[in-house]
Amino acid sequence: MFTNFTKLCKGLALVLVVGHLVVQFVPATVPYLALIPARTIPFAWNLITSGYFELSVHGLVFSTVSLLFMGKFLEPVWGSKEFLKFIFVVNFLTYLCVFVTAIALYYITRLEIYLYMPFAGFHGVSAGLLVGIKQIIPDQEVLLLKIKAKWLPSIMLVLSIASSFFTLNSAAYLPTLIFGTYMGWLYLRYFQRRPETKIRGDPSDDFAFSTFFPEFLRPIIDPIASIFHRMLCGRSNVTSEDHDYSTSGAPLPGSDSAEASRRRERGARALEERLATERLVLPKNKDESQSDALDSV
């Protein structure tokens, strides 16, 4: 469980650690790195930099652990380049939405706290990665919790919203988690490119927006989601580079389900390979330790 982390994830974890140390030892860097809505113009680069450091130790631990564990399942399926692209896009779009929301809340309430509150942290991307886990291994049960992976993003949001009623600084993390979850789903649903199939996104019913909600709410959510889908996209769910995968605005029969099945198979295969590797490592380490003990005797 605590081995076989990818080099890319280790490198990104190092970036988070270094970023946290920088803002702890040089606090004057926070206004230049964190997203402070009143200063985002002209410091527009903090829409990017704000996601790659943590202001608190517990935030650093949570983000680093979630990156390492989720990354070792997602990166082998997506590839290193796509994994890094996902992190960059979701981080930027998440903090862009946080910026717009903070400005809107200021004009509605006239409270300057929304303008000068520093927003930072990798937890928005972590929420997006959790959506990736939901996509590739939806029916896999999480160890100890005995909960299927497809419910993890929903449970995380429910717990975060519930805890916000009992914490004073919920505005600093709750919008980031909500927008990170939605932007992760939006990217995977409509924009992630699949070179092996030339299909963009995941149009399967198992990954629809309504799957984040309990089944009894889906008849209500689906019509609303379809309206926003037509407003924002105005196109078929399945597209290719030359738009040969759709006919009269409807996806070709079986294309989305087949792609979703292949994606789940790749996720399950990656999980099985990780588990098999860990099973081989444990006996080997045990044998080595026994051999060392005999030698010492």
| pLDDT tens track for 216-233 | 888 899 888 888 777 766
Dihedral sign computed on CA atoms, order 156, 152, 219, 240: positive
Domain ranges of the chain: 7-232
Residue 273's pLDDT is 62
| N- to C-terminal Cα separation, the chain | 31
| pLDDT tens track for 55-98 | 999 999 999 999 999 999 999 999 999 999 999 999 999 999 99
CATH 2.40.290.10 applies to domain 7-232 = no
Percent over 90 (pLDDT), the chain: 52
Residue 197's pLDDT is 66
Residue 142's pLDDT is 78
Residue 247's pLDDT is 35
Indicate if the pLDDT at residue 145 is higher than 90. no
For every residue of 67-136, which 3-state class applies, written as one string?
A: HHHHHHHHHHHHCHHHHHHHHHHHHHHHHHHHHHHHHHHHHHHCCCHHHHCCECCCHHHHHHHHHHHHHH
Predicted TM-score (pTM) of the model is 0.79
Phi, psi of 65 (to 5 degrees): -65, -45
Average pLDDT over residues 176-195: 91
Average pLDDT over residues 157-164: 93
Residue 236's pLDDT is 42
